[in-house]
Structure 1
Amino acid sequence: MKLATLWISGRIHNLGALCLSSWLDHGFDVDLYHLGPVENVPAGVRLRPAAEVLPADLIPRLKPLRYTERANIQSTLSYSDLFRMKLMELGRGLWLDCDVLLFRPFDIDPGKPFFAWEDRHRIGASVFYLPEDCEMIRDYNRVYDHPDLMPHWLGFRRRVLKPALWRLQGKPFSPRDLGITIYGNDAFSRLIKKHKLTQYALGTKPFYCWNGKQTTRFFDPTDKWRLEDDPDITGLHVHCKTRPNHRPTPDSLFGRMLKRHADRLPADMTWQS
Structure 2
Amino acid sequence: MRPDVVTFWHGPLDALRLTCLRSQVAAGHKVTVYSFDPLAGLPDGVGNAEAEAILPHAFSERLRPPQQDGGWRDWTILQFSDFFRMRLMAESAGLWLDADVLLLKPVEIDQTRPYFAWERPRQLGNSVLYLPPGDPIVVAFANLIQQEELTPDWLALRHRLTFALQRWRGGSSRLSDIRVAIFGPAALTALARRASELHHALPKKSFYAVHADPKLFFDPSDFSALISDPGITGLHISPKGRGSKLPIPGSLYAWATERFGSP
TM-score, normalised relative to structure 2: 0.92
1:155 corresponds to 2:174: no
8 Å Cα contact 2:62/2:148 also seen in 1: no
Q: Distance in 2 between matches of 1:167 and 1:46?
A: 43
Q: Distance in 1 between matches of 2:120 and 2:242?
A: 24
Change (3 A) 1:116 1:224: closer
Q: Distance in 2 between matches of 1:83 and 1:153?
A: 19
The one-letter code matched in structure 2 to 1:144 is I
The one-letter code matched in structure 2 to 1:104 is K
8 Å Cα contact 1:13/1:40 also seen in 2: no
Residue 152 of structure 1 deviates from its aligned partner by 1.7
Q: Which residue of 1 aligns with 2:217?
A: 218
Q: Which residue of 1 aligns with 2:122?
A: 121
Q: Distance in 1 between matches of 2:123 and 2:168?
A: 32
Q: Distance in 2 between matches of 1:256 and 1:168?
A: 52
Q: 3-state SS of the aligned residue for 1:118?
A: strand
Within a 5 Å distance, the mapping from 1:218-257 to structure 2 comes to 218-257=217-256
Residue 119 of structure 1 deviates from its aligned partner by 1.3
Gap regions ≥5 residues in structure 1: 66-70
The one-letter code matched in structure 2 to 1:85 is M
Q: Distance in 2 between matches of 1:167 and 1:224?
A: 48
Question: Bigger shift: 150-159 or 198-207?
Answer: 150-159
Per-residue CA shift, 1:10-56, capped at 9, x if unaligned?
x2000000000001011100011001232331011111011111011
8 Å Cα contact 1:111/1:131 also seen in 2: yes
Per-residue CA shift, 1:114-170, capped at 9, x if unaligned?
0000010110010001011112211112211111112221112322x2333333333
Which aligned segments of 4 or more residues in structure 1 are displaced greater than 6 angstroms? Answer: none
Residue 251 of structure 1 deviates from its aligned partner by 1.5
Q: 3-state SS of the aligned residue for 1:149?
A: coil
Residue 83 of structure 1 deviates from its aligned partner by 0.3
Q: 3-state SS of the aligned residue for 2:52?
A: helix
Q: Which residue of 1 aligns with 2:20?
A: 19
The one-letter code matched in structure 2 to 1:237 is H
Q: Distance in 1 between matches of 2:221 and 2:205?
A: 21
- Calculate the aligned-residue CA RMSD, in Å: 1.7
Residue 225 of structure 1 deviates from its aligned partner by 4.2
8 Å Cα contact 1:31/1:45 also seen in 2: yes
Q: Distance in 2 between matches of 1:38 and 1:216?
A: 29
The one-letter code matched in structure 1 to 2:143 is R
Within a 5 Å distance, the mapping from 1:1-273 to structure 2 comes to 1-9=3-11, 11-63=12-64, 72-159=73-160, 161-212=161-212, 214-262=213-261, 265=262, 269=263
Residue 226 of structure 1 deviates from its aligned partner by 4.1
Q: Distance in 2 between matches of 1:144 and 1:208?
A: 29
8 Å Cα contact 2:101/2:235 also seen in 1: yes
The count of corresponding residues between Structure 1 and Structure 2 is: 256
8 Å Cα contact 1:116/1:203 also seen in 2: yes
Gap regions ≥5 residues in structure 2: 67-71
Residue 250 of structure 1 deviates from its aligned partner by 3.1
Q: 3-state SS of the aligned residue for 1:126?
A: strand
8 Å Cα contact 2:223/2:252 also seen in 1: no
Q: Distance in 1 between matches of 2:256 and 2:163?
A: 47
Q: Distance in 1 between matches of 2:6 and 2:223?
A: 32
The one-letter code matched in structure 1 to 2:9 is W
The one-letter code matched in structure 2 to 1:207 is F
Q: 3-state SS of the aligned residue for 1:86?
A: helix
8 Å Cα contact 1:216/1:240 also seen in 2: no
Q: Which residue of 2 aligns with 1:68?
A: none
Residue 222 of structure 1 deviates from its aligned partner by 3.1
Q: Which residue of 1 aligns with 2:69?
A: none
